[in-house]
């Protein structure tokens, strides 16, 4: 059982997608009922499996020692392995993926358009994401990375908003551009390491001895850069970020949730899983750069978010800002203060998880208002289709009309602006504390984010929910039971981890200690 759980986590969704085919033949493609139930049950099983994994997970064990690890030859000739494993870095991501996938299926309940396609593609996407977080073989990792890409392309391109084709192709090309670099790094690591291997565990020990050069530049440096570009696009690190607001805005609600909640984490996850342990020397050289980029993300993302008049775009830019905290925390790995290094690294991984839950909640909430009002403008744009509304406030005073919904939004907004007792605060504070131990000036600039993030959330909150009720919404209905069902798990997690973060940190910190040790050994 233990050794098959990781495989099941990946392939249960695939099985669900395959199972849809006979139903499609028997009952026709348009009968959404069957497909959403199949998807809900499969992701439900996946969530239970993830829960079992969590309960039996021992953070003290390394990948090699863990009973969950699966390692067997796949393409023996090239030493490509089917190698799955889970440690403190991946388990928060696995749990997040399983939870958000399930929630997203429930929130997609009203999808009627080509339901077969939607739910089967979603399950494939789910499998790809799980695969990325569980692969310990770089080749396998790369396969899953690409597997994710295609369903995502279609999910945005078919079920998205008015500019969905443009958004989908932009997302696809941007990511593919990064993938090419990752592929180069993958091949270089394979050929330069001795013995030739894709195993991320073996590579930790073999990459160090590479001292080859190409055109007078160290190969390791080139590998770092290639990997960095590949991952930076996913994070996204400014200036590789412009696919994100567009894709988020055009994607259907559930897909935005997955994009922001899970896909963005793959960038920083990849850095921590691959770049950090394999190339510690480059990490040390690049740490300052990472911190600079992190601070730029924080400030640039938040400044842009302030100017947005589309709720979804605002939340999208807030993601750019919040991922900056992760980068700043990660950069602290080189800190000569053990407390600083640990605060930064643990804070970064925790922030990845917490941003996942918080931003998921934000997108779900935006989706709910969109479903009711058919728009999500905070302020109507000047070229709005109905000229009498252009430049007017989109909503206003909803707090009196839909108090429960308002309460959830307030909760999510305050979580987003890092209010203590909600999970985002601790991880953000730890990223800053870590960053401060190495990069004082940069971190001080970064702390401006504390203010900037509050500005756009509170401005939006005021414009939408406070003030006199906009008469156009006097018949607005409050939140439904199904919607409550999608939000409550997130609320519980955000509150629980805000009040008591130890369970999450206890899982993460042994893995971070390992990475810190590797990086610090080359200083």
Among 28, 67, 239, 381, binds another protein (CB under 8 A): 239
121 and 151 Cβ atoms separated by less than 8 Å: yes
Interacting positions 331-350 with another protein (CB under 8 A): 337-343, 346
DSSP state of 469: P
When the beta carbons of 151 and 397 are compared against another protein, the nearer one is 397
State yes or no: residue 48 binds another protein (CB under 8 A). no
**At CB < 8 A and 24+ separation, what contacts does 61-68 make?**
61/87, 62/87, 62/514, 63/87, 63/136, 63/201, 64/201, 67/2, 67/3, 68/2, 68/3, 68/5, 68/6
How far, CA to CA in Å, does 212 sit from each of 166, 254, 281? 42, 46, 15
What is d(CA 64, CA 261) in angstroms, rounded to the nearest whole number?
Answer: 29
State yes or no: residue 523 binds another protein (CB under 8 A). no
At 218 the three-state DSSP class reads strand
When the beta carbons of 141 and 461 are compared against another protein, the nearer one is 461
State yes or no: residue 445 binds another protein (CB under 8 A). no
Among 421, 472, 492, 523, binds another protein (CB under 8 A): 421
- Which among 59, 99, 50 has a CA at the least distance from the CA of 353? 99
Give φ, ψ of 435 to 5 degrees.
-60, -40
When the beta carbons of 52 and 450 are compared against another protein, the nearer one is 450
Closest separation in Å from C-beta 307 to another protein: 4
When the beta carbons of 38 and 311 are compared against another protein, the nearer one is 311
Strands (E) located in 108-212: none
234 and 290 Cβ atoms separated by less than 8 Å: no
Among the candidate windows 56-64, 250-258, 262-270, 506-514, which touches another protein by CB under 8 A?
506-514
When the beta carbons of 107 and 427 are compared against another protein, the nearer one is 427
When the beta carbons of 218 and 337 are compared against another protein, the nearer one is 337
- Which among 234, 246, 256, 240 has a CA at the least distance from the CA of 155? 256
Among 35, 83, 377, 432, binds another protein (CB under 8 A): 432
Among 261, 394, 399, 514, binds another protein (CB under 8 A): 399
Closest separation in Å from C-beta 91 to another protein: 16
x-or-dash string of contact with another protein, 189-228, rule CB under 8 A: ----------------------------------------
State yes or no: residue 308 binds another protein (CB under 8 A). yes
Give 454: exposed, middle or buried? Use CB within 10 Å, 0-12, 13-18, 19+: middle
366 and 312 Cβ atoms separated by less than 8 Å: yes
x-or-dash string of contact with another protein, 144-183, rule CB under 8 A: -----------------------------x----------
State yes or no: residue 306 binds another protein (CB under 8 A). yes
When the beta carbons of 289 and 400 are compared against another protein, the nearer one is 400
Give φ, ψ of 476 to 5 degrees.
-60, 140
Interacting positions 359-398 with another protein (CB under 8 A): 397
Number of shown-chain residues binding another protein (CB under 8 A):
60
State yes or no: residue 430 binds another protein (CB under 8 A). yes
State yes or no: residue 425 binds another protein (CB under 8 A). yes
What is d(CA 89, CA 349) in angstroms, rounded to the nearest whole number?
Answer: 7
Strands (E) located in 454-506: none
At 21 the three-state DSSP class reads helix
What is d(CA 369, CA 405) in angstroms, rounded to the nearest whole number?
Answer: 9
Bridge partners (DSSP) of residue 84 are 70, 135
When the beta carbons of 52 and 410 are compared against another protein, the nearer one is 410
Strand pairing report for 80-84 and 217-218: unpaired
Q: Which helix (H) or strand (E) holds 223?
A: helix 219-234
When the beta carbons of 116 and 460 are compared against another protein, the nearer one is 460
Among 444, 472, 484, 488, binds another protein (CB under 8 A): 444
Length of the chain: 523
At 138 the three-state DSSP class reads helix
x-or-dash string of contact with another protein, 449-488, rule CB under 8 A: -xx--xx--xx-xx--xxxxx-------------------
Closest separation in Å from C-beta 272 to another protein: 15
Among 146, 371, 478, 513, binds another protein (CB under 8 A): 513
How far, CA to CA in Å, does 204 sit from each of 91, 181, 277, 284? 20, 20, 6, 16
Q: Which helix (H) or strand (E) holds 451?
A: helix 448-465
Closest separation in Å from C-beta 36 to another protein: 31
Closest separation in Å from C-beta 286 to another protein: 23
Among the candidate windows 64-72, 101-109, 213-221, 300-308, which touches another protein by CB under 8 A?
300-308
Strands (E) located in 59-139: 70-75, 80-84
Q: Where does this chain bind another protein (CB under 8 A)?
A: 173, 239, 242, 245-246, 300, 303-304, 306-308, 337-343, 346, 397, 399-400, 414, 419-421, 425-426, 429-430, 432-433, 436-437, 443-444, 447-448, 450-451, 454-455, 458-459, 461-462, 465-469, 500-502, 505-506, 508-509, 512-513
């Amino acid at each position: 059982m233990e050794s098959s759980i990781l495989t099941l986590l990946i392939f249960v969704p695939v099985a669900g997608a395959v199972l849809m085919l006979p139903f499609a033949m028997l009952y026709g493609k348009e009968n959404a009922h069957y497909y959403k139930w199949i998807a809900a049950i499969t992701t439900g099983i996946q969530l239970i499996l993830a829960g079992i994994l969590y309960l039996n997970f021992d953070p003290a064990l390394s990948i090699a020692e863990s009973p969950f690890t699966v390692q067997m030859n796949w393409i023996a000739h090239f030493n490509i392995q089917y190698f799955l494993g889970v440690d403190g870095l991946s388990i928060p991501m696995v749990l997040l993926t399983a939870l958000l996938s399930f929630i997203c299926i429930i929130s997609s309940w009203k999808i009627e358009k080509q339901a077969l396609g939607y739910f089967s593609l979603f399950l494939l996407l789910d499998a790809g994401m799980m695969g990325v977080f569980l692969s310990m073989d770089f080749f396998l990792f790369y396969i899953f990375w690409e597997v994710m890409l295609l369903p995502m392309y279609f999910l945005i391109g078919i079920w998205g908003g008015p500019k969905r084709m443009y958004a989908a192709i932009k997302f696809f090309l941007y990511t593919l551009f990064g993938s090419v670099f990752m592929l180069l790094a993958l091949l270089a690591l394979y050929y330069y390491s001795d013995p030739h291997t894709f195993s991320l565990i073996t590579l930790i020990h073999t990459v160090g001895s590479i001292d080859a050069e190409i055109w007078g530049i160290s190969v390791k440096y080139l590998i770092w850069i290639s990997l960095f570009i590949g991952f930076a696009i996913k994070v996204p690190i400014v200036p590789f970020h412009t696919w994100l607001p567009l894709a988020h805005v055009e994607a259907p609600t559930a897909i935005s949730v997955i994009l922001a909640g899970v896909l963005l984490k793959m960038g920083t996850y990849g850095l921590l899983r691959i770049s950090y342990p394999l190339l510690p020397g480059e990490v040390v050289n690049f740490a300052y750069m990472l911190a600079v980029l992190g601070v730029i993300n924080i400030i640039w993302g938040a400044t842009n978010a302030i100017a947005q008049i589309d709720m979804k775009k605002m939340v999208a830019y807030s993601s750019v800002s919040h991922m900056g905290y992760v980068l700043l925390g990660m950069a602290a790995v080189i800190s000569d203060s053990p407390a600083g290094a640990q605060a930064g690294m643990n804070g970064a991984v925790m922030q990845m998880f917490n941003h996942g839950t918080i931003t998921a909640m934000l997108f779900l909430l935006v989706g709910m208002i969109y479903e009711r009002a058919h728009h999500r403008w905070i302020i109507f744009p000047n070229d709005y289709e109905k000229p009498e509304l252009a430049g007017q406030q989109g909503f206003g005073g909803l707090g009196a009309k839909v108090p429960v919904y308002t309460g959830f939004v307030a909760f999510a907004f305050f979580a987003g602006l890092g209010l203590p007792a909600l999970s985002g605060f601790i991880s953000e504070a730890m990223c800053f504390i870590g960053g401060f131990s190495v990069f004082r000036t940069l971190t001080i600039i970064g702390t401006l984010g504390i203010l900037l993030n509050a500005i756009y959330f509170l401005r939006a909150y005021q414009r939408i929910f406070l003030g006199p009720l906009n008469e156009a919404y006097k018949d607005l209905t409050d939140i439904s039971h199904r919607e409550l069902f999608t939000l409550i798990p997130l609320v519980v997690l955000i509150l629980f981890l805000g009040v008591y973060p130890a369970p999450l940190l206890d899982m993460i910190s042994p893995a971070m200690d390992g990475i810190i040790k590797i990086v610090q050994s080359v200083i």
